[in-house]
Every structure is written in structure tokens, then in C-alpha cells.
Structure 1
Amino acid sequence: MTPILGAEGQKVNWVNYKTGVKHLFFRMDVDNKKAFIAIEMAHPDAGIRSLMFEQFLQYKMVLESELAEEWVWHEQCYDNYGKETARIYMELSDVSIFRRDDWPSLISFFKPRIIALDSFWSDAQYGFELFK
């Protein structure tokens, strides 16, 4: 995905996407059972994390319009290390990074969604300035 420029015309590290907001991540992950793409709010302060989530709720219609689908919204969940986070995500089940036949499905799953997130973020990021 390297040759694809971001919404603002710059080069983007799609795998390690920089939101510019501390504790706010766009994550893509795949294992031997499922793949997921997520907006993850991992601020250690639960109150600030909740405010970030509420801010995303204000942008929900814009986000889902850009994504052209509804994602799952969890204000309180836990990452693989037991750390409390808030997450907005989409999951693809029954795929494995270890099955070569699944790779086209994985690319088709991740690519349009991360590009849509980038397009959304190019406008919405200004509403998150207070969290920088």
C-alpha cells in the first residue's frame, strides 16, 4: 500500500498510521482466526478516554458515511494486554495470515477501510486538537 498517497497528498505509513494525537491509534491486525481494523483510544485516564469516545460519537455519521458501513462501538473494552481502551472497529472472521489463499481477502478488507479512515481523519482531526 506504500504507493497510495494519503488524503492530503502526502506519503503515509499505512501500517503505523500517525494520528498526531497521543493515545489515539488506527490499528490493523490479523492472526490465525480473524482480522480487524480499529480506531483505538488508549489514554490511561478513563475520563479523557471517555471524552475522546464522545467526540467520535459526534462524528459518527461522518465516519460511517466515509466508511460506507457501520462499525462496532465499544466505550469500554480491553486490549490483548488487559489494558482498558475504547474502540471503534470492524472485524473479518474466518481468515488467517498463515493461509496464502486469504491474503487477497485481507488486502480487500484492510485497504479501502484504512484509506477511508485517512480521508475521514484529514477533516475530523481538527476536532481532536484539545487531546494533543
Structure 2
Amino acid sequence: MYTREQASQLRQAFWTAFGQYMAPVLSAEGLKVNWPNYKTGFKNVYFRMQADKKTASIAIEITHPDPELQEMFFEQFQALKTLLHETLEEEWTWELHATDEYGKTISRIYKEIGPVSIFNKEDWPQLISFFKPRIIALDAFWTDAQYSFEELR
């Protein structure tokens, strides 16, 4: 068992290592990207990578406080579902109006793996191998798809 501080340091060490590993990888548009903190350019639309002591996930999260607008964003992603899954080369799980760990209503499109632990350095290669191709694919998808969301901005 780790203290809260040790757990925080291990998490930070993993995400720093992941960021350094991904640093040479340019975006689909040939730009430098902060992969662990990917910016979509849209408020309330995030590409999130998370890992804990049991699982890891990568997700498109729609956090708009207005449930109707959140649903409109989700429906726009659904309209692009074929493109998304073709770009990712796999199918993801779709959840409209789920509740996050803070009790907020969000919508998510995600892929999860387990059992893996961010606290076990032996799992880090598996975590990196899980996150890397998917965040690169999300970037490639978003390069084309983001323009479909302009009217929701």
C-alpha cells in the first residue's frame, strides 16, 4: 500500500515518462503536442487518459453542464461513429449521460483495459502500448472531425 504522496509521485512519474516517450511524435497536422494533456480546442470536450490500481482507460468525454447540449455533442460523435471506429481500428463503448466520480453528468466514448496498475512499473509498457496508438488515432480523427462541431461551439 502506498501513502497518498507516494501514489501521487508514481502517477506523476508515469505521466511524465509517457509525455517524454510521446514527445517526438507529431500530431496528424505535423505539430508538437502535449499528448497527456491533449487539447481539443472545444470547451467541455476532452480526450482523457486515466489509469489507477486496477484499470486504464482512454475516452472522449463531453462534460457540458447543459444535458441537451451534451446530448447534441454526443449525437454529432454518433454521426461520425464509422469514421471514429475506422480510425481507431476498434469499437469503443458509448455512454450517454453517465455519472463521473464527482457525481457530474458526462457522456463518454471510451476503451478500457485491465487488470493493470499505474502503481506497478512492470505494467507501464502495457499502459504506454495501450495509450499511444489510441491517442494518436484520436488526434487523426479529430483533425478531420472537429469541423463538424463548429456550430455547437
Using the size of structure 2 for normalisation, the TM-score is 0.85
Per-residue CA deviations over 1:5-51 (Å, capped at 9, x if unaligned) read: 00000011111111011100000000001000000000000000000
Task: Give the Cα–Cα distance (whole angstroms) in 2 for the partners of residues 77 and 14 of structure 1.
Answer: 25
* 1:59-108 Cα shifts (integer Å, max 9, x gaps): 00000000000000001101111100000000011000111110110000
- Structure number with the bigger relative contact order (C-alpha 8 A, sep ≥ 6) is 1
Q: Which structure: larger Rg?
A: 2
Task: Assess if the C-alpha contact under 8 Å between 1:22 and 1:131 holds in 2.
Answer: no
Higher helix proportion (structure 1 or 2) = 2
Q: Distance in 2 between matches of 1:130 and 1:81?
A: 29
- Residue type at the aligned position of 1:28: M
Tell me the amino acid that sits aligned with residue 87 of structure 1: R
Residue 107 of structure 1 corresponds to which residue in structure 2? 128
Residue 41 of structure 1: which of 39, 62, 70 is its match?
Answer: 62
Q: What SS does the aligned partner of 2:50 have?
A: strand
Partner of 1:15, secondary structure, is: helix
The structure in which a higher percent of residues are strand is 1
Aligned length: 132
Amino acid at match of 2:71: S
Structure 2 unaligned regions, length at least 5: 1-21
Give the % identical residues. 58
Q: So what's the TM-score if we normalise by structure 1? A: 0.98
| Unmatched 5+ stretches in structure 1 | none
